[in-house]
Amino acid sequence: MAMLPKRRPDDTFSLRERLNSRKVGGTLLLVAAVIAMILANTPLASTYTAIKDFELAIPALGIDHMTVGHWASDGVLAIFFFVVGIELKREFVTGQLSDPRKAALPIAAAVGGMAVPAIVYAVVVSTMGMDALEGWAIPVATDIAFALALLAVFGKGLPSPFRAFLLTLAVMDDLLGITVIAIFYTESLSLWWLAASLVTIALYALCVNRGWNPRWLLIPLGIVAWYFMLRSGVHATIAGVLLGLMVPALPRAGDKISLAEDMEHDWNALSQGVALPLFAFFAAGVPFAVGDGTFIEALTHPVFLGVFLGLFIGKPLGVFFTVLVLHRLPMFRLDSSLNLKDIAALGGLAGIGFTVSLLIGELAFRGNTELLDYAHLGVIIGSLAAAVVAIGTLRLRERAHKVDELKSGKVRMP
């Protein structure tokens, strides 16, 4: 086999540029969601629905009944999950998740922050006599883009371990959310197609680890792996995560940065600027008056309440009480610059469940448009409510830390 040309990673990766893209990405995501909700609640609703439900099937490839909306969630969103996979790889190899002592508490908080909202949803739906338990996982996710964007804007004065804790929690949350999608939302499984996808991903791994990484080779391999995963019955975005995990996170000889940093830098703009806004645009267009009722009636529906309370109440409580119970144990030590009030503020950020929660809603209620609308309405309002509370608590904690710094003499008055 002829040797393929090697391409070194770029050496111009900028952490500041990446953080700025978080802000821009969060803004674009919010704008796309707001536009979608406006369209869905105006006379243009029929046009919006017609575009979203327009069939773009490819029968020759066995891709049937794929609408524009499905392409946004099953296809374009794979780019976002590819970037998530790269972030996971970097965190496991060189980041917070590489040190079990630092990662133990935020990982435990992520687990608690997923278990409690799932329980809240199940209790609400069951108590109100609704047969919709398949949506239990909708409020378990944290939107890493929104959460870090809000922290970057409203929590600049907080100590750096606060961001590290949030990032570790959110990354672990993503990993667990992806696992939930793969295990619980796979309708039917074709082992042959799954094996073909895994073989293609292994070939991709061979290429990137040998330094054979031109786009004309890697992009077709990624598309083929995605297609095989789609045909297998497992949600196709899982292919994106697995491909991202294959990218080496340590620099090769002669390189200043790793291929993972280089590719994350290259693909993050496409993820934040195109994939996430497109998905949000087609997922967030929910009528306020779902079904035949009014907006007020929608706010009392069991699915809406289960999702809303799961995100707004369950998520912060799950994170806070997990840390409260575990933080004094030797293997779950909380950084000395943080306290439980900081964790309470961080829990509010964790309640922003936008992207992955909307996706899980799509998978849970894909055959039931009305329940899907209630679920998406719960995600949107629950996430916005959590964001508003988080902004307030971040400001309070920022001021408290500044006062503590002044008292300790670390910061001098001008």
Q: Which pLDDT tens digit goes with each residue over 296-349? A: 888 899 999 999 999 999 999 999 999 999 988 888 888 888 899 999 999 989
Residue 14 pLDDT more than 50?
no
Residue 20 pLDDT more than 70?
no
Q: H or E element: which one contains 262?
A: helix 259-270
> Which whole-number Å values give the CA distances from 175 to 42, 96, 314, 368, in the listed order?
37, 14, 19, 27
CATH number assigned to the domain covering 15-39+65-185+235-406: 1.20.1530.10
* Higher per-residue confidence, 100 vs 243: 243
Buried/exposed 290-304: b ≥16 CB within 10 Å, e otherwise: beeeeeeebbebbbb
pLDDT band at residue 213 under the 50/70/90 scheme: confident
pLDDT band at residue 246 under the 50/70/90 scheme: very high
Quick check: 66 and 57 in contact, CB under 8 A? Answer: yes
pLDDT of residue 66: 85
Q: What percent of the chain has pLDDT over 70?
A: 92
Residue 8 pLDDT more than 80?
no
pLDDT of residue 148: 79
Residue 358 pLDDT more than 60?
yes
pLDDT digits (tens, 9 = 90+) for 259-290: 888 888 888 888 888 888 898 898 888 888 77
Quick check: 312 and 351 in contact, CB under 8 A? Answer: yes
Q: What is the mean pLDDT of residues 177-191?
A: 85
Mean residue pLDDT of the chain comes to 85
pLDDT digits (tens, 9 = 90+) for 81-136: 898 889 888 888 887 777 787 789 999 999 999 999 999 999 999 999 888 999 99
**What are the boundaries of each domain within the chain?**
15-39+65-185+235-406
Q: What percent of the chain has pLDDT over 90?
A: 38
**Cβ neighbours for 49, distance < 8 A, ≥ 6 positions apart:** 40, 285
Residue 29 pLDDT more than 90?
no
Residue 138 pLDDT more than 90?
yes
Residue 175 pLDDT more than 80?
yes
Quick check: 106 and 262 in contact, CB under 8 A? Answer: no
